[in-house]
């Protein structure tokens, strides 16, 4: 058992204990926490036993004994994927919106890794372990676009170094609410895990260094199309940075507007459209592009029509 202790802050008072614990731990569902409570793995430091509907009070210390993870068998699945380029060292994929990159709690099947294992067999790098074979970098489930996968450890190490030193360039496009005043700019704000809602990231003084460059490509009535280039690759980086300056990405369920004409989209309107890197074996500079997906262009066309 891995024991962790969480103190309840004043602003968290009144939450159900299953919801509170769920917010503290990544990749955990409320049903999992409820099972832990029934098994006696969630208690208060005072020694008081709790039920799943117990409401926490400020100052409570909640002790969670997280069971050791069980070994998981990741199965290859015959899932169609859009392969932009492939050779003996790398494979570049245009990931569809709605696809999770690698298996995790709640998503053991139907991921890009499951599809890659079917397509590549055992020809994927093993540096990131059995759950994330070949995965060098990720993009969010509801973000579409390009990512490169390593077929061997040599390629993985080279690609990881390129990403770390910023020689590999990742460029995105998104539609945001409103428009920045300047046509281009840089957001340099540290990002870390949200102190209360553990499913979210936030701008935090003690967060990790994060830099996003943006350029306004087109302005519409109430919205704009932006291009982004990343210096760093923090979780939800573009989404958090744009929300922090008052221009969240449309359709973003975590950081977007709750009431907006595009709030019913199936995820944020964000696409990784260009990827540049040096081939890990030959050193050749390679540039890959993926056109904007159909749902994205449909929204743009509608905005163009509305703006005359």
Q: Which of 60, 140, 142, 252 is catalytic?
A: 140
Q: Is 140 a catalytic residue?
A: yes
Inter-residue contact 138 to 111 (CB < 8 Å): no
* DSSP of 56-109: P-TT-EEEEEEPPPPP--PPP-----EEEEE-SSEEEEEEPTT--SS-BTTBSS
Q: Which residues pair with 202 in a beta bridge?
A: 192
Rounded Cα gap, residues 189 and 173, in angstroms: 20
Residue with tokens 């909640």: 62
Rounded Cα gap, residues 280 and 161, in angstroms: 10
Rounded Cα gap, residues 14 and 11, in angstroms: 9
Q: Return the number of other C-beta atoms located less than 10 Å from residue 237's C-beta.
A: 23
Inter-residue contact 184 to 213 (CB < 8 Å): yes
Active site residues: 140
């Amino acid at each position: 058992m891995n024991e962790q202790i969480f103190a309840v802050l004043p602003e968290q008072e009144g939450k159900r204990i299953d919801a509170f614990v769920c917010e503290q731990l990544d990749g955990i569902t409320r049903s999992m926490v409820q099972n832990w409570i029934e098994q006696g793995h969630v208690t208060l430091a005072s020694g008081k036993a709790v039920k799943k509907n117990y409401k926490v009070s400020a100052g409570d210390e909640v002790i969670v004994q997280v069971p050791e993870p069980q070994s998981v068998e990741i199965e290859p699945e015959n899932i169609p994927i859009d392969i932009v380029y492939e050779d003996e060292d790398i494979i570049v994929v245009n990931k569809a919106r709605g696809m999770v990159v690698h298996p995790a709690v709640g998503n053991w099947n139907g991921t890009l890794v499951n599809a890659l294992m079917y397509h590549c067999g055992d020809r994927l790098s093993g540096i990131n372990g059995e759950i994330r074979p070949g995965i060098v970098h990720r993009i969010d489930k509801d973000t579409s676009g390009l990512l490169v996968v390593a077929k061997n450890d040599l390629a993985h190490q080279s690609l990881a170094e390129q990403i770390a030193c910023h020689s590999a360039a990742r460029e995105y496009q998104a539609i945001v609410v409103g428009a920045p005043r300047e046509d281009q700019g840089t957001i340099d704000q540290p990002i870390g895990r949200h102190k209360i809602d553990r499913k979210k990231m936030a701008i935090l003084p003690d967060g990790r260094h994060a830099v996003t460059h943006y350029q306004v490509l087109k302005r519409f009535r109430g919205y704009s199309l932006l291009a982004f280039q990343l210096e760093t690759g923090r979780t939800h980086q573009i989404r958090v940075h744009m929300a922090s300056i008052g221009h969240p990405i449309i359709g973003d369920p975590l950081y977007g507007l709750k009431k907006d004409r595009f709030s019913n989209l199936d995820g944020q309107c964000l696409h990784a459209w260009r990827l540049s890197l040096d081939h890990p074996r030959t050193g050749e500079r390679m540039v890959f592009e993926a056109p904007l997906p159909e749902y994205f262009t449909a929204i743009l066309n509608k905005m163009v029509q509305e703006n005359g």
